[in-house]
């Protein structure tokens, strides 16, 4: 009887170890995403659009006809987000399957804004820091309404973060910048483990 129980116990342990091994070595499955960003008014492709995903994968810029490709994307459901200065942000949802291409077509609407000449913005300082094996960049910037009479209702500032790897993007949206008002603000951006080369403001927009 002891021998039989011993054999059963060894068999159970072996099955448990085998089961754990299978879970450990299960390979991650990948697919890809091909897409295009179009202007909603003209159906023309939009170049220079910043494409990101949620959950996060890679950040990429559309080419001159609005096309983009994301390769080696883990299988699952994703939201594809598109951002470009002068256009309202837009997104679509896709499902990535093993060894297959998911298609994403995104339309963006142009936004008319005024009083851009009254908005002044500049990066005053930035600092990269490591935290839990990841790198973050802390950016301080100054924004000012240079008009002595006209208030700015809302404004947007677009940042480009240049690294030794990919470029990263950040957008600040705020409101109620009174005539002559000057503010110092800051933000923090996760940049994986890349080294920061510079931080620049790529564009600004305002509306009444």
Q: Which H helix or E strand runs over 168?
A: strand 168-177
User: Over 80: is that where the pLDDT of 130 sits?
Assistant: yes
Mean pLDDT of 86-103: 90
Binning pLDDT at 50, 70 and 90, where does residue 82 land?
A: very high
Predicted confidence (pLDDT) per residue in 34-65, tens digit: 999 999 888 999 998 999 999 988 889 999 89
For the entire predicted model, the pTM comes to 0.50
Give whole-number Cα distances, 133 to 117, 121, 194, in Å: 42, 32, 11
Determine the pLDDT at residue 18: 53
Determine the pLDDT at residue 92: 92
| Token couple for 121 | 């913005």
Rounded Cα–Cα distance for residues 70 and 72 (Å): 7
Q: Which H helix or E strand runs over 101?
A: strand 101-108
Query: Considering the chain, what is the average pLDDT of its residues?
Result: 85
Q: Which H helix or E strand runs over 46?
A: none
Higher pLDDT, 35 or 115: 35
User: Over 80: is that where the pLDDT of 14 sits?
Assistant: no
Determine the pLDDT at residue 208: 62
Beta bridge partners of 87: 110
- 96, 73 Cβ separation under 8 angstroms: yes
Determine the pLDDT at residue 12: 56
Binning pLDDT at 50, 70 and 90, where does residue 21 land?
A: very low
Binning pLDDT at 50, 70 and 90, where does residue 22 land?
A: very low
CA-angle at 135, arms to 134 and 139, nearest 5°:
150
Predicted confidence (pLDDT) per residue in 161-199, tens digit: 999 888 888 999 888 899 999 999 999 999 988 899 999
Mean pLDDT of 81-92: 87
Binning pLDDT at 50, 70 and 90, where does residue 15 land?
A: low
Q: Is 185 helix (H, G, I), strand (E, B) or coil?
A: strand
Listed in sequence order, the residues at least 6 apart from 73 whose beta carbon sits closer than 8 Å to its beta carbon are 30, 31, 32, 33, 53, 57, 96
């Amino acid at each position: 009887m002891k021998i039989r129980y011993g054999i059963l116990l060894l068999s159970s342990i072996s099955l448990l170890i085998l089961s754990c091994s299978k879970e450990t070595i299960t390979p991650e499955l990948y697919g890809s995403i091909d897409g295009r960003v179009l202007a909603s008014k003209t159906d023309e492709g939009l170049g220079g659009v910043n494409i990101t995903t949620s959950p996060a994968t890679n950040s990429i810029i559309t080419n001159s006809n609005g096309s983009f490709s994301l390769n080696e994307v883990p299988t699952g459901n994703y939201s594809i987000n598109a951002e470009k200065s002068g256009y309202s942000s837009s997104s679509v949802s896709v499902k990535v399957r093993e060894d297959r291409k998911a298609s994403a077509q995104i339309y963006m609407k142009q936004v008319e804004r005024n009083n851009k000449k009254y908005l002044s913005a500049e990066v005053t300082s930035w600092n990269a820091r490591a935290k839990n094996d990841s790198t973050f960049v802390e950016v301080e910037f100054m924004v000012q309404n240079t008009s002595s009479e006209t208030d700015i209702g809302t404004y947007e500032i677009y940042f480009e973060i240049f690294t030794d790897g990919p470029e990263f993007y950040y957008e600040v949206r705020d409101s109620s910048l009174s005539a002559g008002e000057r503010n110092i603000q800051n933000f923090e951006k996760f940049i994986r483990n890349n080294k920061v080369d510079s931080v620049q403001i790529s564009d600004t927009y305002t509306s009444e």
